[in-house]
Amino acid sequence: MEQVVLLDDAGRAVGIEPKATVHTTDTPLHLAFSSYVFDPDGNVLLTRRAMDKITFPGVLTNSCCGHPAPDELLTEAVRRRLRQELGIDVTDIEVVLPSFRYRAVMDNGIVENEICPVFRVVYDGPAPVPDPSEVHDAEWMDWTEFAEDVVEGRREVSLWCREQVLQLRQLGPDPLAWPVASVSALPHAAPDRS
């Protein structure tokens, strides 16, 4: 059974809860991650969430999101979920927004409430093979065009993706040249800090 790490406001671990029951109308703050997969030309891999996901089904978003298991490195969680959701094996994983946090409420009242560090992944391998239980479809898109579409409101994406894009654009126009953040800025609960 998958478990998520519950956090206090300072990002310290305060418990664990099954992933299957954590998302409610009063979801506690917990640890997650978002990743943006880029090819060597700077195109970003976008995914549409599976239609039967509990949270935000069918929504266009970044490459992959997920929750680390207790004591699992965030970078290992990124690697694990990209393999599970998209069938890709990655090694080039770097944190770019270490303290990103958001809260989003669905129309039915279900809440996402996460401290969600953002990772850049560079991938040059076989085409992704999405797991249909996780990903409805996936597509590559020029990063600059995608980011501009999101900012200008021409492309609807998940709330967290929109907020992340606004912050990622501040790192510079070339995603492959974004500065890598210090792991010491990750939440206290992230084992990667040590």
pLDDT tens by residue, the chain, 194 residues:
899 999 999 999 999 999 989 999 999 999 999 999 999 999 999 999 999 887 888 999 999 999 999 999 999 999 999 999 999 999 999 999 999 999 999 888 999 999 999 999 999 999 999 999 999 999 999 999 999 999 999 999 999 999 999 999 999 999 999 999 999 999 999 999 87
CA dihedral angle for residue 162, residue 185, residue 140, residue 174, rounded to 10 degrees: 90
Residue 54 is predicted with a pLDDT of 77
Residue 56 is predicted with a pLDDT of 84
Residues 98/178, Cβ–Cβ less than 8 Å: no
Q: Which residues are catalytic?
A: 65, 114
* 160, HSE (Cβ side, Cα atoms, 13 Å): 30
Q: Is the dihedral of CA 160, 66, 73, 96 positive or negative?
A: negative
Residue 175 is predicted with a pLDDT of 98
Domain 3-193 = CATH 3.90.79.10: yes
Residue 113 is predicted with a pLDDT of 97
Rounded Cα distance between 188 and 5, Å, is: 12
Q: Which of 126, 118, 130, 123 is nearest to 42 (CA)?
A: 123
Residue 66 CB partners (closer than 8 Å, separation 6+): 32, 33, 77, 78, 80, 81, 85
Q: Which residues partner with 126 through β-bridges?
A: none
Residues 23/116, Cβ–Cβ less than 8 Å: no
Q: What is the value of pTM for the model shown?
A: 0.96
Residue 106 is predicted with a pLDDT of 87
For residue 57, give both structure tokens.
């089904």
Residue 109 CB partners (closer than 8 Å, separation 6+): 25
Residue 82 is predicted with a pLDDT of 98
